[in-house]
Amino acid sequence: MPLAYLTPVLYRCLKPIFPQCLWSGSRDEKVVALTFDDGPHPQYTSELLKVLDKYQVPATFFWLGVCVERSPKVALEVYHQKHQIGLHGYEHRSFINMTRHQLHQSLTKNRDVISQICGHDGAQLTDVRPPNGLFTPQTLDWLQGWNYRPVMWSVVPVDWTRPGVNTVADRVLQQVQNGSVIVLHDGYSGGQDVAATVEQLIPLIRDRGYRFVTIDYLWQQLVRLNLEC
């Protein structure tokens, strides 16, 4: 079975097992979060920013430190447009293949690079998405022990395989619902199509009555719900 059809099943199975991760927001509010992994890229991220600015849509970018170093001007542009920034590791290396010390070093370097180039307060860079969505219970314990917030996904259209803009958009629209966390890529794999995909998706999602928010908004939303319980 193609991966694009398996990811919704994985989401439904894993979310209740690992509730400490942010998989999606509340089902009570018509909001969705656009997130982008593996950037910034000197061309693809710049093209994407123009689309986001055109529609005044906030997004969350999970960055690789090495890519921030390669494209500092683009990183600054993302920061100045007030999009949320999260961590994806210094390099695109699976967290499950790292020791505790290696993972801590990778995230610290990831955060420090962003802070130095963007002038961002490193203490506010707390959201972490594991590359390829791979983690273990031990990984989550480490992240939470270091006061990071693990962020996953609910809609993964597998855009990095480049099945075509229309296919990616259709996959997203088939799965999107209140609180969805949509994962797209603006890096070297899949980023070629990201601006065109988002240009197509934003009006269609808005036509369904959804509002775009950041990952931080979804965390706050869940905190409010927990306080009400």
Please give the mean pLDDT across all residues of the chain.
94
- List b or e across 166-186, with b for residues whose CB sees 16 or more CB atoms inside 10 angstroms: ebbbbbbeebbeebbbbbbbb
Tell me the two tokens of residue 87. 């961590």
H-helix or E-strand spanning residue 200: helix 194-207
How confident is the model over 125-148, as pLDDT tens digits?
999 999 998 999 999 999 999 999
Q: Helix axis angle, 72-80 relative to 100-118, nearest 10°?
A: 70
Q: Are 114 and 122 in contact (CB under 8 A)?
A: yes
Which are the contacts of 40, defined by CB distance < 8 A and separation ≥ 6?
Answer: 61, 63, 67, 68, 71, 74, 75, 78, 186
What pLDDT score was predicted for residue 7?
A: 76
> Distance of alpha carbon 100 from its chain centroid, rounded?
23
Q: Are 41 and 186 in contact (CB under 8 A)?
A: yes
Closest CA to 125 of 63, 172, 72: 63
How confident is the model over 166-217, as pLDDT tens digits?
999 999 999 999 999 999 999 999 999 999 999 999 999 999 999 999 999 9
Closest CA to 97 of 146, 63, 66, 134: 134
Question: Is the model's pLDDT at 1 over the cut of 70?
Answer: no
What pLDDT score was predicted for residue 99?
A: 97
User: pTM value?
Assistant: 0.95
11 or 61: which leads in pLDDT: 61
Integer Rg of the chain from CA: 16
What pLDDT score was predicted for residue 121?
A: 87
Q: All domains of the chain, ordered by start, with CATH?
A: 3-228 (3.20.20.370)
